[in-house]
Amino acid sequence: MNTRVFVVAGCLLSTALSTCAFAQGTLLVANQKDHTLSFIDAATAKQTFALQEDRITGHEVATSPDGRTAYLPIYGDAGVGRPGTDGHEMLVIDVPSHTITGTVDFGHGVRPHLPVYDTHRNVLYVSTELDQTITAIDPKSLKILYTIPTGAAESHMFALSHNGKFAYTANVGPSSVSVLDLNTHKTLAIIPIQTPDATPGKVRVQRMSVSNDDKLIFTSDWDKPRLAVIDTATRKLKTWIELPGTGYGSASTHDGRYLIICLSKASKMAVIDLKTLKVVQTIDVPAQPQEVLIRPDGLVAYVSCNNDHKVAAIDLKTFKVQTLIDAGNLADGLAWSKYSTSTSAAGGSH
């Protein structure tokens, strides 16, 4: 049989059509509780390998643009703002061989948390929480290049603008968002996130994302069912979106029409229309959804579901769960590699 015909036939017979179509790649999942990094083949929606390493207490993971290298900071065993160990290093992982090939040592305990690859500058940024900075690293030499101060404590998560000019950090304890200039390496502004009645000290921001047109920043109140919307032009809180549950990780669809957000305590996802800034649909998922990753083809949103050791794959045409993928205990951070790992190592560990 012609190979092309065979592949098409296989896709048509699959119960997860859009997972099969345009899904050559690997989904990486950082699993906090069992200290593993899952390698999941996107075409089959199966875990092919689990990298076991006691140091993997990190929550987040990122990949290089060519998909061959993954970066996993070691945060420590504490919750943000809570007592515990202070991580000081980041693991560098070769995706094809599933092996740790290097480390970056920050020199002291900084609780490194979120890695984000800046393709504009070919630099990897990592939030270095206890230093109140994000740290820039040369991905080739693994040398620290410089730091950018956030001007606030507990800068746990951050996001880059799509135009490559700014970084925005969510400062958990102070309930604020810092605006960082990626060219001058300076803090430009700190935006306070206040309640609708402007009462201070009643909001805890956490995860965040930036709209595709760079006009809006979204960050959830960790304690109340509402999403703060910040205008990047005025650098002020624009409005609140009421949610049917407490929000967490979010991401915009590729067409910029919707924001997909985890409702962690409700075991649901909410779909927000970015024209009306209103919730238009909810989707049931396994317990405690954490993070959303939109697949590069824009067809599927992967959602890590912490308590049920699953990743939900949501079809973005129908907004329905397409399949549930087995991952590790306390599945959390997600990253995409366009490198397809071999299925011959299915179920393996290292």
Q: Which residue has the tokens 């200290």?
A: 35
SS3 call for 253: coil
| Neighbour-count burial of 198, counting CB atoms closer than 10 A to its CB (0-12 exposed, 13-18 middle, 19+ buried) | exposed
Q: What is the pLDDT of residue 273?
A: 98
Note the pLDDT tens digit of each residue in 85-107.
999 999 999 999 999 999 999 99
Residue ranges per domain, the chain? 23-349
Q: What is the pLDDT of residue 223?
A: 84
d(CA 277, CA 211): 12
In Å, the largest CA–CA distance within the chain is 68
| Neighbour-count burial of 99, counting CB atoms closer than 10 A to its CB (0-12 exposed, 13-18 middle, 19+ buried) | exposed
Residue ranges of the chain whose pLDDT lies below 70: 1-22, 195-202, 341-350
Helix (H), strand (E) at residue 251: strand 247-252
Q: What is the pLDDT of residue 3?
A: 37
Bridge-based pairing of strands 205-210 and 216-221 is antiparallel
Note the pLDDT tens digit of each residue in 1-47.
443 333 333 343 344 444 444 579 999 999 998 999 999 999 999 99
| pTM to 2 decimal places | 0.91
To which CATH superfamily is domain 23-349 assigned?
YVTN repeat-like/Quinoprotein amine dehydrogenase (2.130.10.10)
d(CA 105, CA 127): 14
d(CA 80, CA 156): 7
